[in-house]
Structure 1
Amino acid sequence: MRLTGLDQYVKGLAHHNPVEALALRHRLERIKWRLWHGDGDEALTRAQALAADVAALNSGYPGRKRLIKATAGLATYIANNAVAIVNYSRRWYNGERISTAFVESTVNLVISRRFAKKQQMQWSKVGAHRLLQTRTKTLDGTLPDLFAQWYPGMAVNDNQVPALAMAA
């Protein structure tokens, strides 16, 4: 979403300085490509350089201050999330899921209802984070393996039919 917002600012800049806007658009595409391919370090380097260059940009563009803030925000976002950047290109190539939209919409609905101030019961931020972790592991199918790792006897017990069920 940050890249989409930046692209809008670049379109506005194109009315005042088309050459600079074209160069910025190309640089944003390169950053986007790096992020898509899981190269967070190079994306961060490029985003920081872009932020510095945009800050030095001398233009009559009225949205210049917002553009500067948005490019700095992109660099900060990448820096804060570099370890969590997924290589979507590899996932796509392997036929794996690349969208988290379903998970996000489901969890956001549950959490937003619980965080509503008129609710009698509210969650703490820690509790909401734990729910997100559990829900994500449930949806991607890794929760049973995690429990089996924590409780080795669980996998054995899962496949056994209780004696009472067999007697019935």
Structure 2
Amino acid sequence: HMVATGQLGKIRTVQAEYPLEWMATAIETEGNAQAAWRTDPKKNGRGGSIGDIGTHAYHLAGFVSGLKLQSLTADLATFVEGRALDDNAHVMLRYEGGARGLLWSSQVALGSSNGVRLRVFGDKASLTWFQEQPNELVHARLNGRTEIIKRGADELSDAAKARTRTPPG
């Protein structure tokens, strides 16, 4: 709602990430069935981490920002030896209208459980949301005013209230 109503101004940059550590070793060879199909191109297709978790970060960025992708360049890597699909991806995004973006998905990021993070930067303000602190949205305005917006707060927009089904906390 804040992006759609222009509260961030013209969107300049979007950063989305989805790091996990659960496939930091070759667990697909140790009987982990989920890891086995995720790393098998015959069962999973051509995308490893980018197809498995990168798509979630990408769609979240597009849904929140409202931006349409124009082009991209990607650096897909496989860090675990013997793995047939990527387990880490760095993607530079170029959106229609000139905004730029970065997307990172990784299944080998030690210390990350489900670290989905989204940052949207406009010319008037920015928003930051982190899945591991899902009840908070950081809204930073030009010239230094930063606030933490809590889920379920009384001053939320009608659109946000309509989508809040549980009390804060």
* Same fold flag (TM > 0.5): no
Q: Tell which structure's C-alpha radius of gyration is larger.
A: 1
Q: Which has the higher helix share?
A: 1
TM-score w.r.t. the length of structure 1 is: 0.25
